[in-house]
Structure 1
Amino acid sequence: MAQIVLGMWTTHGPTLSTTPEEWLLRLPADHANKAHWYQTGRYDFDTLVEMRRDEGLAEKSSLAERTKRNAACRAAIDRMADAYAAAKPDVAVIFGNDQQELFNDALMPAFTVFNGDAIWNEPSSPEQAAKHPPGIHAAEWGHKPPAYTEYPGHPELANYLIGDLVANGFDITRASQLPRLDNHWHSGIGHAFGFVYRQIMRDQVVPHVPFITNTFFPPNQPTARRCFEMGRAVGRAIKAWKPDARVAIFGSGGMSHFVIDETFDHQIFAALAARDAEGLCAIGEDWLQSGSSELKNWIAAAGALFETELSGDIVDYQPCYRSEAGTGTANGFVYWN
């Protein structure tokens, strides 16, 4: 029977693949945004500065702090990659999200499972790079290979999981090919998956199943509870899968961004440590919007991992601020083995 031997939760954002100086490329967009999600409200930049004036965010976003936190994130990624290599999984399941890389307003499924033989990725063309928001193209090396590359899917496991999920009341979209959209800013698998391939698996990608969740775009975002229940069903199905395979589970995304909320992030860590399923399921939709919505991938992975005997702790947590408004990305890393 299959055995889940490793669980990993990791952030995947641009701060992990850019220099501390390049983090500031996003500042003009921060100032222009009139509706930053923070906790359960939406605020412009100046309002956030006033709301958070007592948190010392000017110092926390200084070059010295950015440099220190960047180095700590790189060290944490190395520890995650070393743990992955040591576990020697045969197969992986990756819970990630799509930010209109594969899907757009023509079709936006809530849950998609990729069940094809090959998952491809490639660098952006100059025309695509010109369409990227400021600061995004600089991070591309962290989730895209230097040339067209195909990675192994796992159709047998994917089809088995799809069948089990449908039998248990989940409506699943399936894709056996990645789309190539005309005049689109992106091609290939999304960054939630590419980051894991390049920086955690160090380009040694095992056969795997991508679970692609619409965390970002209303109105069909699955709730935290639905994500947890879906992950739990996946975990139970894997443990009943007949092949003798060592399986790794990933939750790729989060933590709080594009405005950082350290208190909220530590609540997530506490729920993982306590295996507090209800604490995760009860998080309201107002808390899981914009970039913070990617924590639903962590919640799905928790569903798959809470009923295993694996255990572990936080590798590191680095709130990577770029402004006195608290904009930036909180980066967190956890593994269980």
Structure 2
Amino acid sequence: MARITASVYTSHVPAIGVAIDQGKTAEPYWQPVFQGYDFSKQWLKENRPDVIFLVYNDHATAFSLDMIPTFALGTAAQFAPADEGWGPRPVPTVIGHPELASHIAHSVIQDDFDLTLVNRMTVDHGLTVPLSLMCGQPEAWPCRVIPFAVNVVQYPVPSGRRCFELGRAIRKAVESFDEDLNVQIWGTGGMSHQLQGARAGLINREWDNEFLDRLISEPEALSKLPHVDYVREAGSEGIELVMWLIARGAMADIAGGPPPKVTHRFYHVPASNTAVGHLILENP
């Protein structure tokens, strides 16, 4: 059967993608950010999955205010990089896994989660920046990727608890797929940041690191954190962190297994006007 072997958590700051694409990764400002992913790149080479189930949010490219799905599962065979206003990023096309995606859709919907199934869409920096951070600049991405877009842009957005429970359902779906696949689940977005208003530029180091601590040691209690706490402590865009709870809910310990191994942890500010957080958890 298929199995989830690890979860990866990372910010998806758009300026990081620009720095990679323009060859600025060794500049003094950016170097500390990318050094935090040196271990991760090597780890991924040594622990390459067959499929990455990548949780991210669309930034008004595939979807707009005309149509805002709460949870959107990409079921296509491939997904082109989106044009976010200055041309598509010069990164490979994302190759999907329609069979596993369709199986997950069937299982999760039967578990009473309403998904929007998307058979054609482009993918923006929310998805491609994490791949670049973990894979570098390859000619092709090293494995297949299933995009899973979550609405954390326009209220109402899903609760942390709902996202955590969805992670459980995704794990169940993956494990019932009758093919020997190594699957990783990635949660992206965050950490603390606010892009507008009187608190623009807000970064809360203490809260971010407490979130990482609790994500590791008490994820179920963390999932009950109300939206207002994310906004108050982590800024208006800090709500993206609920997407990390989908990945955490899919880990073995949540289903009664042993605690995950903390393989790597990294935190840095600033990157643009955002705090960068990164974590790798492996199932024993």
The TM-score normalised by the length of structure 2 is 0.83
Match of 2:274?
329
Percent identical residues: 25
Match of 1:249?
185
Change (3 A) 1:123 1:110: closer
* Pair 1:89-2:40 in alignment: no
State the AA in 2 paired with 1:332.
G
Q: Spell out the pairing of 1:128-207 with structure 2 (5 A cutoff).
A: 128-129=85-86, 144-145=89-90, 149-178=92-121, 188-202=122-136, 203=138, 204-207=141-144
Aligned with 1:166: secondary structure? helix
Match of 1:106?
66
Report the Cα distance in structure 2 between the residues aligned to 1:273 and 1:107, rounded to whole angstroms. Answer: 34
Structure 2 contact 13–271 (Cα < 8 Å) conserved? no
The TM-score normalised by the length of structure 1 is 0.71
Report the Cα distance in structure 1 between the residues aligned to 2:66 and 2:170, rounded to whole angstroms. Answer: 28
* Residue among 243, 251, 263 paired with 2:206: 263
Match of 2:32?
72
User: How many pairs are equivalent?
Assistant: 258
Report the Cα distance in structure 2 between the residues aligned to 1:321 and 1:211, rounded to whole angstroms. Answer: 25
Match of 1:12?
12
Q: Spell out the pairing of 1:312-327 with structure 2 (5 A cutoff).
A: 312-320=262-270
Report the Cα distance in structure 2 between the residues aligned to 1:302 and 1:321, rounded to whole angstroms. Answer: 24
Report the Cα distance in structure 2 between the residues aligned to 1:321 and 1:109, rounded to whole angstroms. Answer: 29
Q: Considering only aligned residues, what root-mean-square deviation do their CA atoms show, in Å? A: 2.3
Report the Cα distance in structure 2 between the residues aligned to 1:302 and 1:103, rounded to whole angstroms. Answer: 26
Aligned with 2:80: secondary structure? strand
Report the Cα distance in structure 2 between the residues aligned to 1:254 and 1:229, rounded to whole angstroms. Answer: 20
Aligned with 1:265: secondary structure? helix
1:240 Cα deviation from its structure 2 partner: 2.6
1:272 Cα deviation from its structure 2 partner: 2.1
Q: Which moved more, 1:298-307 or 1:223-232?
A: 298-307
Note the alpha carbon deviations across 1:124-172, whole angstroms, 9 max, x for none: 6xxx33xxxxxxx9xx8xxx226xx432111111111111111111010
**Greater Rg over alpha carbons, structure:** 1
State the AA in 1 paired with 2:160.
A
Report the Cα distance in structure 2 between the residues aligned to 1:162 and 1:293, rounded to whole angstroms. Answer: 25
Q: Which moved more, 1:165-174 or 1:73-82?
A: 73-82
